[in-house]
Amino acid sequence: MKKNKIKIIFTGGHAGTAAVALFEEIKKRNNNWEIHWIGPKKSIEGKSVESLEYKYFEKVGIKFHSINFPKLQRKISLVNLLSFLYIPIGFIQAIYFLITINPAIVLSFGGFASFPVIVISKIFKKVLFIHEQTAVAGRANIISAKFADKILLSRETSGKYFNKSKTLLVGNPILPNYINSKSESIKSNIKTILVIGGSRGSQAINEFIKKSLKKILEKYDVIHITGELDFDKFSIIKNNLENILSKNYSIYPFIEPHEMPDIYHRSDLVISRAGANTVSELISLGIPSIFIPIPWSYLDEQTKNAEYASKYINSIIVDQRSISEADILNVIEKLAENLDKHKIGSDIDNQASKKIIDLIEDTLK
């Protein structure tokens, strides 16, 4: 007689690729678990851009449940104030999901969308783990930590923000095809630059690239993941380029997680934000990178992530607030000249999925 599946909830406002990495480890072990994700359907409040989790999770077997809960904003506006009307709705949704799913364990990756799930999980006396991905700590995780049974850290530096008796250093989960997958592919003499702003794209980085694009394409191939908001604009830009430049320019609105290793392997250097998952992937693959951290991230977490990455990969950190077209070109040249001297990366996150699933298995016992 087949045993009933053990149900586990993953929740968060981000961290989709980390969740998929854990799901891959679960499948590898043939665990009879049913994984549910509770998170926002949209990746940007007030925009029609669908989140990575909504677009992708059902394809790989993770059951997606949409929740409405506002992100704490620094700027006060009518739209932001109206969004707080969703607070009671978010808690009602969380109650419904916890009752209908009835999970054995809840694992939160942070973000304010996870907060009502965390509170209701505590009320329902569910085992609750929180995973902190960054080199510091997210606001939602700091607030939520008091409810957690265990706080799982990606970086030792974030431990100072939490109760040490609850913390466990595990690393940040990455997909198995990033592990031991240094590229052996033969690349042309023309170097390839990958421009990426996380799963949503970065309009700020896109603007810098737009201003410098023709000059960059005169010397390099470019793979540009624009995000959905800017894809049409850059499609027009590509179509208006001279043919010799246009053929060197590949654009995508979005790349699914399992396809990203191939994109990385085609790239000699990366221009990127410094989100936790991107940083982990670049560290694992050892790809030289130009980081343009989000300047308003809480506790300057993206700069801290980028500084952490600099221990393991050849990288340059650029301040978005003071960068110019000439700066971008100079930084690219500086990094491109030293590609053969780059650091070899690190396997620091390679065992993260195993450690987390080991913990869940031990807890279930």
Bridge partners (DSSP) of residue 128 are 106
pLDDT value, residue 1: 46
Kindly give the pairing relationship between strand 167-169 and strand 192-196: unpaired
Does residue 144 form part of some domain?
A: yes
Residue 311 shares a structural domain with residue 235: yes
321 pLDDT higher than 50: yes
C-alpha closest to that of 280 among 300, 252, 299, 261: 261
pLDDT value, residue 15: 85
Least confidently predicted of 10-24, 75-89, 244-258, 350-364: 75-89
184 pLDDT higher than 60: no
Q: Stretch 194-211: mean pLDDT, rounded?
A: 87
Q: Which residue has the higher pLDDT, 180 or 327?
A: 327
Q: Which residue has the higher pLDDT, 266 or 77?
A: 266
Does residue 90 form part of some domain?
A: yes
Residue 56 shares a structural domain with residue 205: no
Three-state secondary-structure class, residue 42: strand
Residue 188 shares a structural domain with residue 301: yes
Does residue 78 form part of some domain?
A: yes
Does residue 1 form part of some domain?
A: no
Q: How far apart are CA 103 and CA 122, in angstroms?
A: 12
pLDDT value, residue 94: 98
Q: At what angle do helices 203-217 and 325-336 cross, to 10 degrees?
A: 70
- CA 283 from chain centre, in angstroms, equals 14
pLDDT value, residue 86: 79
Identity at 165, one-letter amino acid code: S
Cβ 114 vs Cβ 11: under 8 Å? yes
Q: Stretch 182-203: mean pLDDT, rounded?
A: 76
pLDDT value, residue 144: 96
Q: Considering the chain, what percentage of its residues have pLDDT values greater than 90?
A: 77
Cβ 294 vs Cβ 357: under 8 Å? no
pLDDT value, residue 73: 57
Residue 59 shares a structural domain with residue 132: yes
Identity at 277, one-letter amino acid code: N
Number of structural domains (the chain) is 2
36 pLDDT higher than 60: yes
Residue 314 belongs to domain spanning: 178-341
